[in-house]
Structure 1
Amino acid sequence: MKKTFTILVVGMLFVCFRSYSQSAVSGSVMDIESGDPLIGATAMLSGTSKGATTDASGKFTIQGVEDGSYTLTITYVGYAEFSKKITVSGADLSLGNLSLEEAIFAFDQVVVSGTRQAEKVTETPATIEIISAKDLEELPSFNPGELLARVKGVDFVRAGVVGTGINIRGFNSNFNSKNLQVNDGRFATLIATGLPMGPLTTQVKEDVERVEVILGPNAALYGPNAHNGLVHTITKDPRSSQGTTVAVGAGNQSMFTARFRHAQVVNDVLSFKVSGEYTRAEEFDFADSVYIDRDGDGVKEGYEEYKLDNSIEFLRGEAAAYISLPNASDIIISAGGSNSTYLSPTNVGRNQIKDWKIGYIHARYTSNRFFAQVYNTTSYTDGTYAIDQRTKNYYAFIDAGMSEAEAEQQSLDKAYGAPFDDESKRLNAEVQYHEKFGSTGVVVGAQYQRDNANSKGTYLLDNDGNDPIIVNQLGVYGQIEQELGEAFKLTAAFRGDNHEIYGFNFIPKGGIVYSTDKGAVRLTYGKGIAAPTIINMYGNLFNGLILGNAEGFTLTDGSKVEKQKVEKIQSFEIGYKGEVVPRKLFLDANAYYNISEDFLSPVTVVGVATERGDEPMSEVQSGYGAYGGLVATYVNFGKVNTYGFDLGTNVYFNDQFNWTFNYSFFDYSYDEDNLEENDFNGDGVVNKLDVLVNAPKHKFGTGLYYRGKKLFSNIYVRWVQEYDYFSSYQIAAKTQDLTWRGTPVVENARSTDSWNYGPLGGFVNVDLGLGYKINSVFTVSGQVTNLFDAEFREFTAAPFTGRLYSLELKAKLPAIGK
């Protein structure tokens, strides 16, 4: 009996052990072409919270796996998702080398910007467009921003030779801070103005892995200024992109560019990369007239911009060290800087950007569950100025009897409003925890931002730089993803944001995605806010004629101009991404409806003020003797509904040929009887001059691409319907029975302080690219923008776009020992 009992106990223990034994699943993830390890790829077992991230050698190990059958899924940004059926049965399972291939088909791509976690593009609860590594590699230009012209749903504008800008879903202006620019998770916006850095960026094209563009608000995860959209640029990991790349290019407008990137794995712990660029060119010939009343009789005459400098010059570079730690965690330390000179359009003419320096230092920690980062951004210039104001200053001093030399020198004295000096900095910090519990994924995090803006008394109320403007913000965010079976995924996100000036705001977002083998349908709701920038709050332009509105104003009749508050948008969207014909036809469509209110207005004259906040205007306004308290500022107004849809197709004829077609429709509506909220200019009528949507109703783009082993080429055609555009002093509109800033709207005529050349858009543009891979090292390529040299103007205070062409030679040298 005792022997029988012993056997029974041993047998039960054996059964229990077999039933609940836990094993490890391991493997190595490699690039299918190069054989390089893919560091940071995510391996997950379906139906569990078990997963791991690949280390510096591309290896992953998933511990504690119970016996059973699973689907192993591996995702890596820029690569097609990999799936494999596996069975675990009482022993560790080694899968050997698992090869991932770069995503060729739009259906296969993995993104990170929608939920800040890697996921298949069809399954993210947001409309995300991708500029891939292939797109970037085949662009013979130093400026990856040119590819944004080919992204559906984006209003792309070219403002000269190097100036490129975008807007998403309406409300564009020459001073647009509603689209957030992010580089490797780091906010890449100017500190005082909130504008995207654009040409001031420190990144070199050869180091860019991909660009993800989110259409619509994503403030719940990224903060207040991801209001209309977000552009996230992701750079290459040196551990999976070793080697040296050198590129030289030349083109018309005296363009020359030289760029390099080097990445190297030193050992199992340390890897690094460095990159640099020098580019120069000449802007298109164009003079933006400055209108001056020199005789004092109220009649303004046009003068060319004084001392216009058409030179363009960029010097930029970055360096980063990647330290690989145990358990697939990393410390990444990076730094970068740029020095830029070019012409930039503004609401009141053009700025002469002179030696504007941007710098940053950035430290990140990443692991399977934690992410943390801290970074400091600096901005410095002492040579940038407003050309319009400098021109007015010069002629005023000439009329006052000064010599030309004296007038030239005095025209740039900061007492007369032309210079834009900057010595600002910003500190950001973030910590995040993410985990998966069975079918539930959780992300929680907190962000801190401290702006320290210093204009040295040139355009802010900073007491000649003695009292920099300091503003603190703190945000906490969270997200829950719940899988419901194999088809449905629910996402709920929130952000609580506390702004030192504008208090607390709650920002929710939610979505549901239904996925099949062929694609996914998504329904989302999101809220976004746009907080006034520092220049909106504390601006001091043209000797106090324009003042920021962080305090509110009291007018001479005792009425109040309320201080600015945040602008709000609610967005409802339905979309589909998927294969109509397997591996041949890919469809991406979305429709949206937005409710926008409390617009942050452009600069507007509000009247004669006696006080700004509690301070008398005589103590705030440096030009009080001339203006007597007359002030222009920024206010909130209005409620507008916008709606539209975007349609995109990709047709893959074979592995070499594919054709794309994008179409976007956009429109808006508002209550014409709501004079209290919507009659911004106070003329007793609500019309488009109050709303200022500034976006085309229709636009499309289509391109044909060939990608062979040696030869690659593309031709892209873009059409934008003409549309009227009004932004502060700037106007581009057809003749109509309207009055803008006191002057009738007449095409090809002066409009108060600028020249109205007629509507923007209304053009067809054709771009052509061609390249040849001579061997494994050298590639030669070229492109022509505006192939037929059509004369059209994409932005105000900017030249007509002429034909641009460039040739480029690129050498890619493999890493030593490979």
Structure 2
Amino acid sequence: MQSPVTVEKLTARDLRLTPAPSFFDAIDNVKGVQVITPSLSFKVINARGFTNTTNVRFAQLVDGIDNQAPHLGGPIGNVLGPSDLDIRSVEIVPGTAAALYGLNAINGLANFSTLNPFASEGLSVQQKAGVNHVQDPGTGARPFTETSLRYAKVLASKLAFKVNGTYLRGYDWVANDQTELNPNGNATTGLLGADNPARDPVNSYGNESSDRSTLTLGGKSYSVARTGYDERDVVDYHLQTIKADAALHYKLSAATELSYTYRLAVLDNVYQRSNRFRLQDYRLQQHALQLLGPVVQARAYITTENTGKSYNLRSAAENLDRSFKPDDVWNREYTAAWNAATGNGQSVAQAHAAARAAADAGRLQPGTAAFRQRLSELQDLNNWDQGAALRVQADLLHAEAQLDLGAALRRAGQTWLPAAVDVRVGADHRTYLIVPDGNYFINPGPGKDPLRDNLTYSKTGGFGQAGLHLFDDKVRLTATLRADKNDYFTIRFNPRFTAVYSPWREHNFRLSYQSGYRFPSLFEGFSNVNSGQVKRIGGLRVMSSGVFENSYLRSSIDAFNAAVTAAVNADKSGATPAQKKERAITQSQGLLRRTPYTYLRPEHIRSLELGYKAALLPGGRLLVDVDFYYNAYRDFIAQVEAYVPKTLNPDSAAIYLNSRSTQNRYRLWTNAQSKVYNYGGSLGLRYELPRGFRAGANATYARLARTESGDGLEDGFNTPRWLYNVSLDNENLYRGLGFGLRYHWQQRYYSQTFLVSGEVPAYHSLDAQLSYALPRPDLRFKLGATNVLNQYYVTFLGGPSVGGLYYASVTYAVK
């Protein structure tokens, strides 16, 4: 109630009443929060705009411990988090929290609190069984199961332990968007729709821009793509998650506790970044040591990541085509077949279809033994120009400590610090460690062996905070200053100022101003990937020195080559094709633009927030929470495609940039030149009705206000302007029978990613559950469904269609 920033909370009661199949899925209905779904077992949390499928701007903690996959820079859903049997509560801070946490949490954070074995011991077992893909003609109904176990025991007055285990299996949501990404690839020749030989459906891979060639046929230039494969051809949609944790707790005193926790996760699912990936036998482990007390809180942990047998779906499709027949051979056969077809009197469109059929003769067909064998081989080849394997091993090492200086002084008998003053200080250090794999990461450091020496990337930070309580605790003021020093960057400072005014205990007004920095993640800073004949490299100078200075924007190159093709096709003179092309290049070379971007800098946000929270009506039955924020961003970390001609003579650059074989292609991490402003707010109401009924509603508004010096490179806002949730529930409607209803709606929005950009349609979803609880034995049954009406929707472009999930669960506890 008196927090100086917006805090959303899911209590144990909320989690019991949710129709969602897990506590993590229930976050979708929290005020101010947007959730996207790359996979049935992989959801991504975001708040206040600028999100994507790897949200490196939002931190996710379990008992204060970061559970990200180190090389991704973000968590893989809740695979390294607690089970439903061990969750106590969820707290979400929408909005920047970098001043205190320093974890790149410039869009917010979520903290999952687990049950303490001293307070909650005994055996608990939960079984869920369900079905999805109902009425899905592509797959048919598929089963879903999840089994969880928790056991906690107090061994002595000061010693207790707990163990948890979860095993989940199911069939993932399918991505099969056939929307055309290159509809005008041959518009100058009148070949559109199914006749376009450069078609590129969203969830079809191997026909992207790097898989196209410009062929001169019948005196005209045509853009022709390799045939490619649909996503469902190259991925196994069966998913599973195996996760377990064990913790040992020791009480040093009544209020101070020391604990050690080990977590393990092994998973198979589908993930999306710039490309789609099959995460397969992916392994995460974490060891954590915590000391929690009224004066000192300290944590040290290490997270290890091994991507197992994961692979890139786009690279798999591209190299299935290329391993069957190299591009140059396929192009020659296509050209010969086209000439033969037109010579036999076929139309241009018919000739293209015949040419493709001839060049594809003998192509590996999905479902055959030869196809499966080759796909398996590519999954184990760690070079995306030839194979598809994702082979990364990474560690995250973190240590932090906080001291309540005021409490420490008072405990030591020092009285010079007034009781109305709070002082807190803290410090942390984090190091990432990467084992070079030669494809995804190398060690670029001077004097380092790029393939043998491990790559390290570190940050050290600290903060001081002072708080003042005035006028009988009706006014609380806080000032915080944080400093962070990251490898490759100078020290950065983050201030935060907050005020809370509570004229009465039931009414609380809040105001905060803070800034935050986000340092480049491992992938943004150090990636070194050969991906479909485009090399993706990190934006730190140590990785991309010389590339920015000598490159041209891909957008300008595409415009230049389109103009060249149009000029060649419009040229009715008797000149040879080579002469036509030379003239067209000279006429169009003014379209080429040098890359204006440069090496990475930290991303920065300044945020102002106002809020009001009140408990109204007798007994506080009506809870009202409203907030408004205004953010200013600069130096967005984003990607740009830029190509370098293979010549040192700038006068020849246009000639070299007209051919894929005479240029080096890069996708670079850099900073947008835009200054971006966004604002929004949310309103939440919760009303405790008679006889145990509870009604709730919340609405969230987010808007991209304006962009100064907009260069189009700023990361996608990717956020609906409006979304709202409505709920009604009762835990004990009649003799242990309860129910819960949740309705979610969100407006259509523009999605901008490197895989695909366009409009995400609006969607709505109704979730429902019936529950029955028996006090003896402690047994709880639940029959639930998400998206009860089974109206398929997508939460982002390129991702899967999400339908209904219908399940039953039983939970048994022995105290």
**2:154 aligned partner:** 265
**1:226 aligned partner:** 105
**2:453 aligned partner:** 467
**2:144 aligned partner:** 255
- The structural deviation recorded for 1:161 is 2.4
**1:749 aligned partner:** none
Give the unaligned 5+ runs of structure 2. 132-141, 177-202, 216-222, 327-361, 365-369, 408-416, 444-448, 552-593, 648-658
What SS is found at the alignment partner of 1:206?
A: coil
What SS is found at the alignment partner of 1:564?
A: coil
In the alignment, is residue 532 of structure 1 matched against residue 520 of structure 2? yes
**2:249 aligned partner:** 322
Deviation larger for 271-280 or 575-584: 575-584
**Is the contact between residue 547 and residue 633 of structure 1 (CA under 8 Å) also seen in structure 2?**
yes
CA distance in 2, matches of 1:448, 1:141: 37
What SS is found at the alignment partner of 2:72?
A: coil
- The structural deviation recorded for 1:408 is 3.1
- The structural deviation recorded for 1:423 is 1.3
**1:788 aligned partner:** 789
**Is the contact between residue 294 and residue 399 of structure 1 (CA under 8 Å) also seen in structure 2?**
no
CA distance in 2, matches of 1:192, 1:161: 22
**Is the contact between residue 243 and residue 812 of structure 1 (CA under 8 Å) also seen in structure 2?**
yes
CA distance in 2, matches of 1:299, 1:780: 57
What residue identity is the alignment partner of 1:535? F
What residue identity is the alignment partner of 1:422? V
CA distance in 2, matches of 1:596, 1:518: 35
**Is the contact between residue 331 and residue 363 of structure 1 (CA under 8 Å) also seen in structure 2?**
yes
- The structural deviation recorded for 1:575 is 0.2
What SS is found at the alignment partner of 1:238?
A: coil
**Is the contact between residue 181 and residue 197 of structure 1 (CA under 8 Å) also seen in structure 2?**
no
**What is the correspondence of 1:298-317 to structure 2 with a 5 Å cutoff?**
298-300=223-225, 301-305=227-231, 306-317=233-244
**2:189 aligned partner:** none
CA distance in 1, matches of 2:363, 2:689: 70
Percentage of pairs with the same residue: 24
Q: Residues 691 and 799 from structure 1, CA distance in 2 versus in 1: closer, same or farther, beyond 3 angstroms?
A: closer
**Is the contact between residue 598 and residue 636 of structure 1 (CA under 8 Å) also seen in structure 2?**
yes
CA distance in 1, matches of 2:169, 2:637: 36
What SS is found at the alignment partner of 2:234?
A: coil
Q: Residues 569 and 294 from structure 1, CA distance in 2 versus in 1: closer, same or farther, beyond 3 angstroms?
A: closer
In the alignment, is residue 416 of structure 1 matched against residue 384 of structure 2? yes
**What is the correspondence of 1:371-770 to structure 2 with a 5 Å cutoff?**
371-400=297-326, 404=370, 407-412=374-379, 413-417=381-385, 418-434=388-404, 435-436=406-407, 437=417, 438-454=419-435, 456-462=437-443, 465-486=451-472, 487-515=474-502, 516-542=504-530, 545-551=535-541, 552-554=544-546, 555-556=549-550, 561-582=597-618, 583-601=620-638, 603-608=639-644, 628-637=663-672, 638-654=674-690, 656-671=692-707, 674=709, 678-680=710-712, 692-708=716-732, 710-733=736-759, 759-760=760-761, 762-770=762-770
CA distance in 2, matches of 1:337, 1:520: 42
What residue identity is the alignment partner of 1:575? G
**1:125 aligned partner:** 4
What SS is found at the alignment partner of 1:148?
A: helix
**1:807 aligned partner:** 808
CA distance in 2, matches of 1:500, 1:326: 39
* Post-superposition CA distance 1:624-670 (Å, at most 9, x none): 99674321111111111111110000011136111101011111222
**2:260 aligned partner:** 333
Q: Residues 137 and 658 from structure 1, CA distance in 2 versus in 1: closer, same or farther, beyond 3 angstroms?
A: closer
- The structural deviation recorded for 1:174 is 2.8
Q: Residues 671 and 319 from structure 1, CA distance in 2 versus in 1: closer, same or farther, beyond 3 angstroms?
A: closer
- The structural deviation recorded for 1:691 is 6.0
- The structural deviation recorded for 1:311 is 0.6
- The structural deviation recorded for 1:458 is 3.1
What SS is found at the alignment partner of 2:465?
A: strand
**Is the contact between residue 596 and residue 641 of structure 1 (CA under 8 Å) also seen in structure 2?**
yes
- The structural deviation recorded for 1:455 is 5.0
What SS is found at the alignment partner of 2:316?
A: helix
- The structural deviation recorded for 1:294 is 7.2
CA distance in 1, matches of 2:750, 2:60: 26
* Post-superposition CA distance 1:7-51 (Å, at most 9, x none): xxxxxxxxxxxxxxxxxxxxxxxxxxxxxxxxxxxxxxxxxxxxx
**What is the correspondence of 1:324-363 to structure 2 with a 5 Å cutoff?**
324-326=251-253, 328-348=255-275, 350-363=276-289
What residue identity is the alignment partner of 1:439? A
**1:370 aligned partner:** 296
Deviation larger for 774-783 or 375-384: 774-783
CA distance in 2, matches of 1:627, 1:577: 62
Q: Residues 585 and 492 from structure 1, CA distance in 2 versus in 1: closer, same or farther, beyond 3 angstroms?
A: same
What SS is found at the alignment partner of 2:395?
A: strand
What SS is found at the alignment partner of 2:806?
A: strand
TM-score normalised over the length of structure 1: 0.75
CA distance in 2, matches of 1:295, 1:175: 32
What residue identity is the alignment partner of 1:704? L
TM-score normalised over the length of structure 2: 0.75
**Is the contact between residue 277 and residue 315 of structure 1 (CA under 8 Å) also seen in structure 2?**
yes
CA distance in 1, matches of 2:632, 2:660: 43
* Post-superposition CA distance 1:98-150 (Å, at most 9, x none): xxxxxxxxxxxxxxxxxxxxxxxx11111000011122234476632211111
- Greater share of strand residues, 1 or 2? 1
* Post-superposition CA distance 1:320-364 (Å, at most 9, x none): 11111135321111111010111122222x210001111111111
Q: Residues 228 and 256 from structure 1, CA distance in 2 versus in 1: closer, same or farther, beyond 3 angstroms?
A: same
- The structural deviation recorded for 1:430 is 1.1
- The structural deviation recorded for 1:369 is 1.0
Deviation larger for 290-299 or 656-665: 290-299
CA distance in 2, matches of 1:381, 1:146: 24
**2:193 aligned partner:** none
Larger RCO, structures 1/2 (Cα 8 Å, 6+ apart): 2
- The structural deviation recorded for 1:609 is 7.5
What SS is found at the alignment partner of 1:159?
A: strand
CA distance in 2, matches of 1:460, 1:766: 44
Q: Residues 465 and 807 from structure 1, CA distance in 2 versus in 1: closer, same or farther, beyond 3 angstroms?
A: farther
**Is the contact between residue 202 and residue 317 of structure 1 (CA under 8 Å) also seen in structure 2?**
no
CA distance in 2, matches of 1:485, 1:267: 45
What residue identity is the alignment partner of 2:538? G
Deviation larger for 169-178 or 571-580: 169-178
Q: Residues 345 and 627 from structure 1, CA distance in 2 versus in 1: closer, same or farther, beyond 3 angstroms?
A: farther
Q: Residues 295 and 226 from structure 1, CA distance in 2 versus in 1: closer, same or farther, beyond 3 angstroms?
A: closer
Give the unaligned 5+ runs of structure 1. 1-121, 612-623, 682-689, 734-758
* Post-superposition CA distance 1:66-94 (Å, at most 9, x none): xxxxxxxxxxxxxxxxxxxxxxxxxxxxx
What SS is found at the alignment partner of 1:408?
A: helix
What residue identity is the alignment partner of 1:326? S
CA distance in 2, matches of 1:496, 1:640: 24
In the alignment, is residue 290 of structure 1 matched against residue 179 of structure 2? no
Q: Give me the CA root mean square deviation.
A: 2.3
**1:747 aligned partner:** none
Q: 46, 49, 69: which one pairs with 1:167?
A: 46
What residue identity is the alignment partner of 2:746? V
**Is the contact between residue 152 and residue 662 of structure 1 (CA under 8 Å) also seen in structure 2?**
yes
**Is the contact between residue 221 and residue 477 of structure 1 (CA under 8 Å) also seen in structure 2?**
yes
* Post-superposition CA distance 1:472-505 (Å, at most 9, x none): 1110112111101220000111211000122211
What SS is found at the alignment partner of 1:145?
A: helix
- The structural deviation recorded for 1:559 is 7.3
What residue identity is the alignment partner of 1:668? L
**1:11 aligned partner:** none
What residue identity is the alignment partner of 1:257? E
What residue identity is the alignment partner of 2:540? A
**1:756 aligned partner:** none
**1:37 aligned partner:** none
**2:579 aligned partner:** none
Q: Residues 705 and 630 from structure 1, CA distance in 2 versus in 1: closer, same or farther, beyond 3 angstroms?
A: same
Deviation larger for 163-172 or 442-451: 163-172
**Is the contact between residue 17 and residue 731 of structure 2 (CA under 8 Å) also seen in structure 1?**
no
CA distance in 1, matches of 2:682, 2:111: 20
Q: Residues 473 and 802 from structure 1, CA distance in 2 versus in 1: closer, same or farther, beyond 3 angstroms?
A: same
